[in-house]
Amino acid sequence: MAVAAPRQTLESFSPTTGERLGAVPAIAPEDVQRVVDEVAQVQPFWSQLPPAERGRHLRRAAQVILDEMDDIRDLIACEQGKPRTEAYLMEIVPTVDALHWVAEAGPKILADEKVGFPQPYFKTKRAHFAYDPLGVVGVIAPWNYPWTIPLGEVAMALMAGNGVVLKPASLTCLIGERIRYVFERAGLPEGIVRTVHGGGAVGQALVESSVAKVFFTGSVEVGRGVGEACARQLKGSVLELGGKDPMLVLADAHLPNAISGALWGGFANAGQTCSGIERVYVMREVADRFTAGVVAGARRLHVGDPLSWDTQVGPMASRDQFETVRELVDDAVASGATLECGGPTEVPGCDGAFYAPAVLTGVTHDMRIMREEVFGPVLPIVVVDSEDEAVELANDSDFGLGASIWTRDRHRGERMAREIESGMVWLNDHMYSHGACQCSWGGVKDSGLGRAHSKFGFYECVNVKLVTHEPGWVRNFWWHPYDETLGRALGATAKLIYSQRDADRQAALREGGVPLARLVGRTLRSFGRR
């Protein structure tokens, strides 16, 4: 009797202690298409439900999260390393809010949208935009925000009538599996959301499968490959590929607020945030006070076990990411920068890779730490002499996800915001809008393509179809046969409707009046023959 091959599993380990947390079934790359096909069989039923009914399912998913919130919180803390408070703040609460917003706004945004015809020669026409589901959408999730990023994208795809295949990050596979469970527990059709677990080959297989679109969050290198593979199949992709977000501190900034914002924007989630502050440009007039405040605040942040309520900075999600951060900081110091505080540290009773919040001064733009994404709790501070210099340096980057400007002068801030090359600019705040699903999210340059969240995120999940109606009472006057009457009438019509000079319109009426009258008569005669 043949013995079945053992089923492969993907194990998950705590970044804090190294202990095994659990395992999920892994899938072979060649089996990914089968999963996509199975979701495709369920998707037509789901898409035929009224949008309001799909919204009710998403509200129930939000309630499931609330009912199991503490358990989910500790799963995030244990598997990804976020402190408990951040698990609430940056993962759980935003997704509950997003599910409610998607359920409320989705039916309105996705409803048929009337298209007007101001052109007099189209007055009998009627048209609307219809937003059709794509079919099955693939979501490839990151490890830094393993709950809120994929869950929001899955929710919007579902609201638009699609099925979803989710590929969680291998480091946070248990969290990804819990997302699927939430939607099943909420009563969505079985199989409308599926997860596939495995390494990069599984993600590649999902990209190359028959999914209609791919939402990918991750590195520039991998994201570029995802976009190229999708383009070869003539299907779309939404790519969120990281950032090197600048913070511009002007001379009139409210410094206590700017200092607090730098600490949170730079060190939340141990700095492992695509839109975290990775560069600070501060005006010389306030540079000493600002830097002193940031250094003092960084030293006060408690590094420790994410399950402890007083922990503000947890472990790096992986030893590899820790080594990347250490290498970039060491390179900056070797190139002349000064490490004011922070660096590798140990936490009693924990075997994880911990990096205390670091502040660097004396950095220059030719250092690697100012060019490459650090993705760790490090704030390099650069002193500038003018707002123009700050903007120029902020734009001197391959990335363009977000940026923040700190000033008490709103008009100045908004003027500078228009000069910043990024997908988002916040005045006197940073990155909070990811927690407001009505706001668009995405970047320019190497930070990616497309938008998540907001009405634009919905538009990424649908085929925008134009549907028109003509009563058919009369034939269109521009149809065959062509003759001089039609040609002269068309020329006269263009000048009568669009010319900005009275003389042109009067001449068109004199020269084209007869052809126009003949054309109208000919058209009306066709109405009589209907």
Residues with a known catalytic role: 240, 274
Tokens of 102: 């998607």
User: Do 150 and 141 form a contact (C-beta atoms < 8 A)?
Assistant: yes
Task: Choose among 63, 83, 478, 505: nearest CA to 309.
Answer: 83
Strand partners, 137: 164, 213
φ/ψ of residue 191, rounded to 5: 95, 0
Tokens of 205: 């297989």
Contacts with 351 (C-beta within 8 Å, 6 or more apart), sequence order: 16, 17, 18
The SS3 of residue 47 is: helix
Q: What is the C-alpha end-to-end distance of the chain, expressed in Å? A: 77
User: Do 511 and 488 form a contact (C-beta atoms < 8 A)?
Assistant: yes
Query: How big is the chain by its Cα radius of gyration, in Å?
Result: 28
Contacts with 325 (C-beta within 8 Å, 6 or more apart), sequence order: 271, 316, 355, 374, 375, 376, 377, 378
Tokens of 254: 């409210």
Using the structure block, give the residue that is written with the tokens 């505080």.
341
**From the CB of residue 318, how many other CB atoms can be counted at a distance below 10 Å?**
17
Determine the Cα–Cα distance for residues 426 and 94; give it in Å rounded to an integer. 18
Determine the Cα–Cα distance for residues 391 and 443; give it in Å rounded to an integer. 17
Determine the Cα–Cα distance for residues 322 and 81; give it in Å rounded to an integer. 13
Burial degree of 6 (CB within 10 A; 0-12, 13-18, 19+)? exposed
Torsion angle, CA of 108/112/113/116, rounded to 10 degrees? Answer: -150
Inter-CA distances, 230 with 8, 40, 136, 251, 368, Å: 28, 19, 14, 46, 31
Show the CA angle centred on residue 78, arms to residues 77 and 79, nearest 5°.
100
Helices (H), 219-307: 220-232, 255-267, 284-300
